[in-house]
Amino acid sequence: DTGVSQNPRHKITKRGQNVTFRCDPISEHNRLYWYRQTLGQGPEFLTYFQNEAQLEKSRLLSDRFSAERPKGSFSTLEIQRTEQGDSAMYLCASSLAREGEQYFGPGTRLTVT
């Protein structure tokens, strides 16, 4: 399977704990995106990388959230001191060019108890 992969698929954590998610984009794609989706809503943009550079960040990405793409390949999204409101599906997508379609991964479902 050469699509976008995300790990883990599900994460249950207690409030206050830190969590980290990983996204592996399609290998030749230099652009990578993170979104958050809650039940019944469309995905909300969080951040965008071109290669290793983080070029866009949403105001939704509070100081508890940090994303990295150190070598321009895989990316990690870390949430510190999780809150119940962080419970959502976290989606990663990648694309080849600025005008290219974004290919989404299956997401990581986070539940904060």
Where does this chain bind another protein (CB under 8 A)? 4, 31, 33, 39-45, 48, 50, 55-56, 58, 91, 93, 98-99, 101-107, 109
Long-range CB contacts for residues 43-52, cutoff 8 Å, separation at least 24:
43/91, 46/77, 49/75
DSSP at 101: P
CA distance 3 to 25: 7
CB 2 within 8 A of CB 103: no
Instruction: Say whether 85 sits in a helix, a strand or coil.
Output: helix
Specify the residue, 47 or 82, whose C-beta has the smaller distance to another protein.
Answer: 47
In whole angstroms, how close is the CB of 64 to another protein at the nearest point? 20
Instruction: Say whether 43 sits in a helix, a strand or coil.
Output: coil
Specify the residue, 72 or 80, whose C-beta has the smaller distance to another protein.
Answer: 72
Cβ neighbours around 112 below 10 Å, total: 19
Specify the residue, 82 or 102, whose C-beta has the smaller distance to another protein.
Answer: 102
In whole angstroms, how close is the CB of 4 to another protein at the nearest point? 8
Specify the residue, 18 or 51, whose C-beta has the smaller distance to another protein.
Answer: 51
In whole angstroms, how close is the CB of 77 to another protein at the nearest point? 15
In whole angstroms, how close is the CB of 32 to another protein at the nearest point? 10
